[in-house]
Structure 1
Amino acid sequence: MKYEQPQPGLKWLTIQSLEQCRENVTIDSGSFDPLFFLFFFRSGFATLLLPDNAVSPAPESLFWLEPQTKFTIENAEKNSGYYLMLHKPLQEAIAYDPALIYHPHFRDLFLPKQLIQVKLSQQLRINSLLNSIYEEETHGHLFKEEILQGYFKILLLTILKQLEENSILEEHDNKLAKKFQQLLEKSFRSKKFVAEYAEALMVGPTYLNTVVKKATGHSASYHIKQRIVLEAKRKAVYTNMCMKEIAFDLGFTDLTHFSKYFKAATGINFSAFIQKTYGHALAVE
């Protein structure tokens, strides 16, 4: 199904329910005036086919695109949500409202592609606003343009609030990841499990793993293992300590456990590492 360009002067906004997108919808904005595309995926498995890649937004997410973008909403079942298009510049659509234009995250609305998760507290509100816009655009008559503009401004303010909350959360998560790294450096000899670090940092183990992985590319458990193994290698290379002494120094009371731990993290056992490094096995006392 091909999207038809609205006639100039008749519309400044078009909204479509994703429930009606059971066939592929292709939109080419190359000949349009500057536009703003906004998608709200409440549920389903819709895929946006863009010129450079494909995006499959998770449920309860917002996604918007820069003007002059050709894309296809790929055929998907059980889609729920809306896509909304402006047929004039965003600033003009909001009547240059200072409350919006001078919001610290207003510029984020002009990023080439933006995908944000929507908190549960905002999902129903955003869906309700888009539903109101849809009903007004479809059936409204008296003061239709003024009502649409009012709904649209509230929608943007709600999105900007979500961006602000996400920014605060991201800052908090970055600080948490740094605190974990600092604590790891101090406590890797005594703390071997994510749960121990999570308890010290007053968060849940799963959350800590997620935050650290987002910040570094690896989970907290990975960093714990790698820090312990790195110290074991340093001790083996730069000291005269035997395997038993190194294991004890790193908080292992069971030599077999240490050997298995080392091998699980590196792929080779400790003695093989020494032999590979020096050409002879380290004595085990």
Structure 2
Amino acid sequence: MFLDNIPVHNLDESDFFVAERIENCAPLNFRGSHCHNFYELLFFMETGPEESHSIDFTEHPLQSNQIFLIRPGQVHTMKLKEQKGFLFAINRDYFERLCLHIESYADYSFPDILTLPDSEAPAVRRIADLIYAEHEKLHRKSLLNSYMHAFITHLLQLHTDAPGNQDIRVNRVLSLIDTHFISERTTDFYAREVNLSNKRMNELTKKAVGHTVKQLIDQRLLLEAKRMISHGASSFKEIVFDLGFSEASYFTRFFKEQSGYTPEQFRSLLKKDLS
């Protein structure tokens, strides 16, 4: 099955996180599309030309002082040559509890990509150095926990302080979409949940992320379909049923309108990428 071609990297449940230097990691850790059962923070301090990181089928050119958060289940691959930085593989339950305990932040508030201001990069590097050094030497759990708490807190604060990232209602809408995109495809549900009119809700999401709520629902639905195809769903009929489409033809039309490819064409592209 196609599932065999998409490796799932697992973190031992006894580890609440693992720290590595990116430049010391085995190339196989990054080569080809794969996903995780844990969170992964990638801190690129230095990058080379033409390096990129594809997350859920969207390619991002790499920059120095850039941090990526890879969530469990996301499909990603990297083209790396001259990179330097840190990789933190973090137990799912631990990361989500940590975010919830930091001034009421939730997982959905953490950005997928954060480019550090030049003035803040040295401080973030120092904390990352402390985490890595402690992990490599004494491995004192209480100290590692404190360092990771400081690291996540600092990144969340930088993200919150950035222009356009301060309206918690947008974060709430995004979280609701991530939870209910299959069962609730009309915008009325989300407007009621955040106590806003449809018009005002769309104004906020367009300002923050550049899309209306309907567009965000469709994007999330398309992403889930792509993940299911890449993870080896046994048939498109299975995907149609699981995603709540009434007919296969409707699903195919939706997929083509949103991505430019039919589901069959997308699966063929993935197989070509992995060969």
TM-score (norm 2): 0.49
The structure having more radius of gyration, on CA atoms, is 1
TM (norm. structure 1) is: 0.48
Q: Which has the higher contact order (CA 8 A, sep 6+)?
A: 2
